[in-house]
Amino acid sequence: MMLQPQSFAVVPPTEVPVDDDPVASYAAMDSAVAALPASTALGSPILPCQEPMIEVSLLDEDNAPLAKVPYRLMLEETTLAEGTLDDQGYASVPKQELPAGDWHIEVTLQRNETTQLVERADILLTAAPPEDEDDQEAEPGEIEDAQWLELPDDALLWD
């Protein structure tokens, strides 16, 4: 759906009465607006979201597209889609959306034993494991380990 540009009316400035009576000012504005030609109402300012989809583009070891190769797209243990890549090694799976987060993508090419031609591409999507807190480095300015320094009781006495 593409939104078309909409026209709208601009209200010309009206002369403010000398006595600056608000009732007369609003009456003057109302009569100026009523004298304008009918305007087209604006459409919704909210643009529709693009339909969620997963797009796949596969290349072989020589960076040539895997044209016309059957594929199977799996999300962990579930098959999301099966089909055939186009001439450019591309496929899109409409109405599929992955949850937010990092994902690992593993592509396994099933080859013919005698000709070594690719017979099918298996694409496996798995959620990346969350990072361990121990593996994260401290941010600059962050204290990693606080250590207290023991001072003798008279160390804080001033004369």
Q: Which of 54, 35, 42, 43 is nearest to 1 (CA)?
A: 43
Neighbours of 16 (CB within 10 A): 11
Give domain limits for the chain. 53-127
Query: Tens digit of pLDDT per residue, the chain (159 long)?
Result: 455 555 555 566 666 556 677 787 788 888 887 777 666 566 666 666 677 788 889 888 888 899 999 999 888 888 888 999 999 999 988 877 777 778 888 888 898 899 988 899 898 888 887 766 555 555 665 555 656 666 666 655 555
Question: Residue 36, SS3?
Answer: coil
Q: Is the pTM of this model over 0.95?
A: no
Backbone φ and ψ for 27, nearest 5 degrees, come out as -65, -40
